[in-house]
Structure 1
Amino acid sequence: MNPLPILRDSWYFFARHMGAIAVLCLPLLVLESLTRYLLVGTLTADPSPAYELVTSLLFYPLYTGALILFVDTRSRGLTVRYRDLLAMALQLWPRFAVLSALSTVLIMAGASLFILPGLWVMIKIAFAEYLLVLDRLTPLAAMRESFRLTQGHFVTISACVLTVMLPLWLLDARSFPELKAWGDIPVLILDCLRGFLQLFASVVVFRLFMLATPERAAEP
């Protein structure tokens, strides 16, 4: 798999459907940012990282699950109503939240040893969300299957994911400290923008997932 065509095709899809993706996911991203602000920024003087994790587990499975279903249906030439996509994502929320929690723990455990083990875990479980949403696998089964499917594709997946995520991580590191001096509204706006742009990474990984499972193209 060549990273450049994957990134190009993924960007074409994301740009073409940006309005629809915004309508589907942006309201939940705004709610996530507001909830994070209330829990971390106002309700506690000494915020715990657990508050941010709980907020992520509450909202991330909903908009990410809906986005995966949206990309899958549009890729197959189908059109599904937004409320139906959100309803399906809500049904998957319990197991998706479990998967997100397990993934976070594994990535943080790897990162605590050194950055590279954390990155390795992140890449190896990159397909787990798609296997859970599209194939309805359990969280552990999805993670095991993701480990299998990513064999032989680690470099390509890493190149694609880091190309998208590194600029966003740098944006976080440089912009958030400076914007805090301007007040809460700019921070909330940047948080929502960062979350929306991060959805592009989900589109990129979906493209990688489809290339790693070519038998799906033959399904009716």
Structure 2
Amino acid sequence: MKPFIEILKESLFFFNSNVRSICAIVLPLIIPLEIFYGICDALYQDDNDSALWLASGVGLLLTPFYQGALILFLASVLTDEYLPVKTCYQRALKFWLPLIAVYILSSLATAAGFMLLIIPGLIVLGRLAFAEFYCLFHHKSGYEALLASWKSSRNEQWQLVAGLLLIPVAITVPLLLLESFLDLLGLAGPVFTFVSGVVSSVLFTLSTIFAFRMYTLDPDRYAGSELPANTEDSAE
């Protein structure tokens, strides 16, 4: 098995090499979504959580669009296709339902694991990390993708857990420290919250890149992957 540090380095190199394309894919939805989050936060009242529930619901509905498009772009780079942003979104659109099922079911399963104990939660987090890829590249339903990910990720589960914890922590902690510093100066506010939300969303794509790199390490698993085509491609 390839060393964990080597996989992290490869993921970071991929991100640095393709950061412009990654931004072009995620920012068209992330920017308006962060603005919407800001509006909901401004409307939030202690005795009424409806604004927060609305923000969470909209975020959940939009995640499959840009996350699916991002994953399809990652796969296209490996095949030297370098799909345009529009094509990535067109091809990701038909996977919205299975992807949203993956996100809901995996969130519930991970939460249940953490309610039992920390270790079961971490195991679930790692074992379900490939589910998105099984949806997109093997055309599986949400449940089937989770089951396939659980079966195929056993050997890599602790590397996946380490990466999926380390990357968000390495991104979040500096932003929180910067926010605390600006708050002391009286400079923290909605603008900083918006900027930090956009920046962190772009940087968090490293987690997807890392998981995808882990997924491709098994030649038998990746050999069955097929980059989906959209309707227009098929017609041509």
Q: What residue in structure 2 maps to residue 107 of structure 1?
A: 110
Question: Within 5 A, what are the aligned runs for 1:161-176?
Answer: 161-171=164-174, 174-175=177-178
Q: CA RMSD in A?
A: 2.3
Relative distance call for 1:89 and 1:11 in structure 2 (3 A) is: same
Q: Is the 8 A contact 2:61 2:100 kept in 1?
A: yes
Q: What residue in structure 2 maps to residue 77 of structure 1?
A: 80
Relative to the length of structure 1, the TM-score reads 0.89
Q: What residue in structure 2 maps to residue 86 of structure 1?
A: 89
Q: What residue in structure 2 maps to residue 188 of structure 1?
A: 194
Count of residue pairs the alignment pairs up: 219
Q: What residue in structure 2 maps to residue 141 of structure 1?
A: 144
Relative distance call for 1:176 and 1:52 in structure 2 (3 A) is: farther
Shift of 1:93: 1.3
4+ residue stretches of structure 1 with deviation over 4 A? 171-181, 217-220
Q: Select between 47-56 and 123-132 the one with higher mean Cα deviation.
A: 47-56
CA–CA separation in structure 1 for the residues paired with 2:163 and 2:8: 7
Max Rg structure: 2
CA–CA separation in structure 2 for the residues paired with 1:219 and 1:186: 40
CA–CA separation in structure 2 for the residues paired with 1:165 and 1:212: 25
Q: Is the 8 A contact 1:66 1:86 kept in 2?
A: yes
Q: Does 1:154 align with 2:157?
A: yes
Shift of 1:191: 0.8
CA–CA separation in structure 1 for the residues paired with 2:216 and 2:149: 12
CA–CA separation in structure 1 for the residues paired with 2:25 and 2:221: 29
Q: Does 1:198 align with 2:198?
A: no
Q: Is the 8 A contact 2:135 2:145 kept in 1?
A: yes
Higher helix share: 1
Letter in 2 for 1:133: L
Q: Gaps (5+ residues) in structure 1?
A: none
Q: Does 1:42 align with 2:42?
A: yes
Letter in 1 for 2:78: S
Identity over aligned residues, as a percent?
23
Relative distance call for 1:164 and 1:61 in structure 2 (3 A) is: same
Secondary structure class of the residue paired with 1:137: coil
Q: Is the 8 A contact 1:111 1:119 kept in 2?
A: yes
For each residue in 1:139-188, what CA deviation from the matched residue of structure 2 results, as whole angstroms up to 9, or x when unmatched?
00000000011112122222222231222343465455666662101011
Relative to the length of structure 2, the TM-score reads 0.83
